[in-house]
Amino acid sequence: MTPDYYSMNKITLVLATSLFVSTSISAFGANLNNFFNALAKVESSQNPKAINRKENALGLYQIRPGYFADSKVSGKHSDTFNPAVARKVCESYFKRYAPEAYAKGDFETLARLHNMGPGYKRNLSATNKYWSKIQKNLK
Protein backbone atom coordinates (compact mmCIF):
# COMPACT_ATOMS: atom_id res chain seq x y z
CA MET A 1 0.00 0.00 0.00
CA THR A 2 1.40 3.37 -1.00
CA PRO A 3 1.03 6.23 1.54
CA ASP A 4 -1.05 9.14 0.32
CA TYR A 5 0.28 12.62 -0.42
CA TYR A 6 -0.89 14.05 2.95
CA SER A 7 0.83 11.32 4.98
CA MET A 8 4.12 11.76 3.11
CA ASN A 9 4.09 15.54 3.67
CA LYS A 10 3.28 15.04 7.34
CA ILE A 11 6.24 12.65 7.74
CA THR A 12 8.53 15.09 5.92
CA LEU A 13 7.37 17.95 8.16
CA VAL A 14 7.94 15.94 11.33
CA LEU A 15 11.46 14.96 10.23
CA ALA A 16 12.33 18.51 9.18
CA THR A 17 10.99 19.92 12.46
CA SER A 18 12.96 17.36 14.48
CA LEU A 19 16.14 18.23 12.62
CA PHE A 20 15.57 21.98 13.11
CA VAL A 21 14.85 21.62 16.83
CA SER A 22 17.86 19.39 17.50
CA THR A 23 20.12 21.70 15.48
CA SER A 24 18.78 24.75 17.32
CA ILE A 25 19.29 23.10 20.70
CA SER A 26 22.84 22.10 19.75
CA ALA A 27 23.64 25.63 18.56
CA PHE A 28 22.16 27.10 21.74
CA GLY A 29 24.23 24.68 23.82
CA ALA A 30 27.42 25.66 22.01
CA ASN A 31 26.60 29.35 22.40
CA LEU A 32 25.76 28.83 26.07
CA ASN A 33 29.14 27.14 26.56
CA ASN A 34 30.81 30.13 24.90
CA PHE A 35 28.91 32.47 27.21
CA PHE A 36 30.00 30.53 30.30
CA ASN A 37 33.60 30.50 29.06
CA ALA A 38 33.47 34.29 28.64
CA LEU A 39 31.92 34.65 32.10
CA ALA A 40 34.72 32.56 33.61
CA LYS A 41 37.42 34.57 31.82
CA VAL A 42 36.00 37.87 33.04
CA GLU A 43 35.15 36.77 36.57
CA SER A 44 38.13 34.62 37.56
CA SER A 45 40.54 34.31 34.64
CA GLN A 46 39.13 30.75 34.44
CA ASN A 47 40.36 29.85 37.93
CA PRO A 48 37.85 27.53 39.64
CA LYS A 49 39.60 28.15 43.00
CA ALA A 50 39.41 31.96 42.78
CA ILE A 51 38.30 33.82 45.90
CA ASN A 52 37.30 37.47 46.23
CA ARG A 53 37.56 37.89 49.99
CA LYS A 54 36.01 41.37 49.94
CA GLU A 55 32.73 40.05 48.50
CA ASN A 56 33.11 36.41 49.56
CA ALA A 57 32.74 35.49 45.89
CA LEU A 58 33.96 32.02 44.94
CA GLY A 59 34.96 29.98 41.92
CA LEU A 60 34.92 30.40 38.17
CA TYR A 61 31.92 32.71 38.14
CA GLN A 62 32.64 34.50 41.45
CA ILE A 63 29.37 33.50 43.09
CA ARG A 64 28.45 35.40 46.25
CA PRO A 65 26.51 33.85 49.13
CA GLY A 66 23.26 35.69 48.31
CA TYR A 67 23.45 34.64 44.66
CA PHE A 68 23.99 31.05 45.75
CA ALA A 69 20.99 31.20 48.11
CA ASP A 70 18.80 32.80 45.42
CA SER A 71 19.67 30.02 42.98
CA LYS A 72 17.90 27.52 45.24
CA VAL A 73 20.56 24.89 44.45
CA SER A 74 21.10 22.59 47.42
CA GLY A 75 24.45 22.42 49.14
CA LYS A 76 26.92 24.92 50.53
CA HIS A 77 28.26 28.13 49.03
CA SER A 78 31.75 26.56 49.02
CA ASP A 79 30.42 23.88 46.62
CA THR A 80 30.74 26.53 43.89
CA PHE A 81 34.46 25.77 43.70
CA ASN A 82 33.26 22.77 41.67
CA PRO A 83 32.76 24.12 38.11
CA ALA A 84 29.73 21.87 37.47
CA VAL A 85 28.01 23.11 40.63
CA ALA A 86 28.93 26.71 39.84
CA ARG A 87 27.37 26.45 36.39
CA LYS A 88 24.27 24.81 37.82
CA VAL A 89 23.95 27.69 40.29
CA CYS A 90 24.23 30.28 37.51
CA GLU A 91 21.77 28.49 35.25
CA SER A 92 19.27 28.13 38.09
CA TYR A 93 19.67 31.83 38.96
CA PHE A 94 19.18 32.82 35.31
CA LYS A 95 16.10 30.64 34.97
CA ARG A 96 14.66 32.16 38.14
CA TYR A 97 15.23 35.83 37.34
CA ALA A 98 15.35 35.90 33.52
CA PRO A 99 13.73 32.75 32.14
CA GLU A 100 12.92 34.35 28.76
CA ALA A 101 16.48 35.63 28.34
CA TYR A 102 17.86 32.21 29.26
CA ALA A 103 15.52 30.44 26.82
CA LYS A 104 16.38 32.84 23.97
CA GLY A 105 20.12 32.94 24.64
CA ASP A 106 20.03 36.67 25.46
CA PHE A 107 23.54 36.77 26.87
CA GLU A 108 23.53 40.52 27.37
CA THR A 109 20.64 40.26 29.83
CA LEU A 110 22.23 37.24 31.54
CA ALA A 111 25.59 39.00 31.88
CA ARG A 112 24.02 42.14 33.34
CA LEU A 113 21.93 40.02 35.73
CA HIS A 114 24.98 38.06 36.83
CA ASN A 115 26.95 41.24 37.40
CA MET A 116 24.41 43.27 39.34
CA GLY A 117 21.53 41.02 40.32
CA PRO A 118 17.83 41.22 39.56
CA GLY A 119 17.72 45.01 39.99
CA TYR A 120 20.24 45.68 37.20
CA LYS A 121 17.59 47.40 35.05
CA ARG A 122 17.32 50.26 37.57
CA ASN A 123 20.87 51.29 36.67
CA LEU A 124 21.61 49.67 33.33
CA SER A 125 24.61 51.89 32.61
CA ALA A 126 26.38 50.48 35.69
CA THR A 127 26.71 47.16 33.84
CA ASN A 128 27.93 48.56 30.49
CA LYS A 129 31.64 47.96 31.16
CA TYR A 130 30.94 44.46 32.38
CA TRP A 131 28.88 43.60 29.31
CA SER A 132 31.67 44.99 27.09
CA LYS A 133 34.17 42.66 28.78
CA ILE A 134 31.88 39.67 28.27
CA GLN A 135 31.37 40.57 24.60
CA LYS A 136 35.12 40.75 24.00
CA ASN A 137 35.49 37.23 25.40
CA LEU A 138 32.60 35.62 23.51
CA LYS A 139 33.77 33.45 20.62
Query: pLDDT of 51-73, one tens digit each?
Result: 999 999 999 999 999 999 999 99
In this predicted structure, what is the pLDDT of residue 18? 40
Chain centroid to Cα 128, Å, comes to: 18
Chain centroid to Cα 99, Å, comes to: 10
- Tens of pLDDT, residue by residue, the chain (139 residues): 555 545 444 444 444 434 433 333 334 455 999 999 999 999 999 999 999 999 999 999 999 999 999 999 999 999 999 999 999 999 999 999 999 999 999 999 999 999 999 999 999 999 999 999 999 999 7
Domains and CATH numbers, the chain: 28-137 (1.10.530.10)
In this predicted structure, what is the pLDDT of residue 139? 75
| Cβ atoms < 10 Å from Cβ of 9 | 11
In this predicted structure, what is the pLDDT of residue 27? 43
Judge whether 101 and 110 are in contact, CB under 8 Å: yes
CA distance 117 to 57: 14
In this predicted structure, what is the pLDDT of residue 16? 42
